[in-house]
Amino acid sequence: MPAMDESAPDFTHLKRHVEQLLKIQCSNYKEDYIKRRFLSRMRSTNSATYADYLRYLKAHPEETEPLRNALTINVTEFFRDKDVWDEVKNVILPALFQHKKRISIWCAGSSTGEEPYTLAILLYETLINHKDWSGIITATDIDEVVLAKAKAGIFEEKAIQKLSAAQVQRHFTRRPDGLYEVRPHLKALLRFRPHDLMSGVPPVRYIDLLTCRNVTIYFTEKQKDDLARMFHSALVSDGYYVMGKTEYLGRQVEDLFIAKNTAQKVFMKREKPLPPRSP
Ligand SMILES: C[S@@+](CC[C@H](N)C(=O)[O-])C[C@H]1O[C@@H](n2cnc3c(N)ncnc32)[C@H](O)[C@@H]1O
């Protein structure tokens, strides 16, 4: 990385410009993380310093999207970590429909759509046998470019490789250009909305199942704790929260949830706070 002392003002200028350009609050992320992401774009654009990269960014509007992608990292896939989805299908959805006929799901940090469409496939396959059951999935992301892609629901063949042949046939249409488009019955279960998880306010409330996976790895401990509190407030009593495999609940907030499946990072909202721990 460029030497701290000399480059600090340039880094600040670059950060301010990027915040205005992308409407992203860089200060919400760990500084090291932002620096590493800038550095990766600086390498790709042959910029030696933060000041060089700022000049490059201003002169090349086509650099905006690669930079946005570098900062938000949108890697995702259908049925990512298969065991979690078995748990959703075999345990969580049946448990929720035991008590109600309509459920609400929030997929936070939904990227290009593979995760919310995975949820939609499982929800659809649950609803199909029960005509009086229904559900809606709200999929949100800070990055409107990936949201637009998700909404379009068009995927390359390699993206849907983990799906069974029956799932592909049932839920996708093969287009003349060889791409696969999600069929309307799945799209009808979803709505996509821009939302910043650091805004402190959930986009929807009374959530029965919330998935937020592989999003918070670059958040600070405080931001993660605030997020867990926000999720707790957005969930109904006994609502489920599914985190990413490598993510964890901090000490300050772990009592807000009951671990239901530790390996799959499945938690349930704890309605009443635990009594304070003895010293
Ligand atoms: C690595 S992808 C994870 C996608 C999916 N959840 C999965 O596990 O496959 C992380 C997503 O989080 C989004 N993201 C990052 N910071 C965010 C924020 N503050 N608010 C909402 N989404 C955010 C990124 O735009 C990106 O699409």
The Cα–Cα gap between 80 and 76 comes to: 7
Give the tens place of pLDDT for each residue, 134-180.
999 999 998 888 899 999 999 999 899 989 999 999 999 999 999 99
The Cα–Cα gap between 270 and 257 comes to: 5
Domain ranges of the chain: 4-72, 82-269
| Of 82, 138, 215, best ligand 1 pocket probe by most atoms within 8 Å of the beta carbon | 215
Q: How far is the CA of 77 from the centre of ligand 1 (A)?
A: 12
Q: How far is the CA of 130 from the centre of ligand 1 (A)?
A: 32
Atom 11 of ligand 1, residue of closest alpha carbon: 109
Question: How many Cα atoms sit within 13 Å of 244 on the Cβ side?
Answer: 18
Residues 6 or more apart whose CB falls under 8 angstroms from that of 57 comprise: 14, 17, 18, 21, 63, 64, 67
Beta bridge partners of 136: 104
Give the tens place of pLDDT for each residue, 7-61.
788 999 999 999 999 887 777 677 888 898 898 889 888 999 999 999 999 999 9
Q: How far is the CA of 129 from the centre of ligand 1 (A)?
A: 32
Q: Report whether pLDDT(4) > 50.
A: no
Question: Quick one: which atom of ligand 1 is closest to the CA of 195?
Answer: 21
For the CA atoms of 60, 19, 71, 204, the dihedral, rounded to the nearest 10 degrees, stands at -130
Tokens 């995702």 label which residue? Answer: 76
Domain 82-269 has CATH 3.40.50.150: yes
Q: Are 223 and 216 in contact (CB under 8 A)?
A: yes
Q: Are 63 and 41 in contact (CB under 8 A)?
A: yes
In three-state secondary structure terms, 189 is coil
Atom 6 of ligand 1, residue of closest alpha carbon: 213
Q: How far is the CA of 265 from the centre of ligand 1 (A)?
A: 17
Q: How far is the CA of 6 from the centre of ligand 1 (A)?
A: 33
| Of 19, 71, 142, best ligand 1 pocket probe by most atoms within 8 Å of the beta carbon | 142
Give the tens place of pLDDT for each residue, 112-144.
999 999 999 999 999 999 999 999 999 999 888
Q: How far is the CA of 279 from the centre of ligand 1 (A)?
A: 38
* Residue 219: predicted pLDDT: 79
Residues 6 or more apart whose CB falls under 8 angstroms from that of 87 comprise: 261, 264, 266
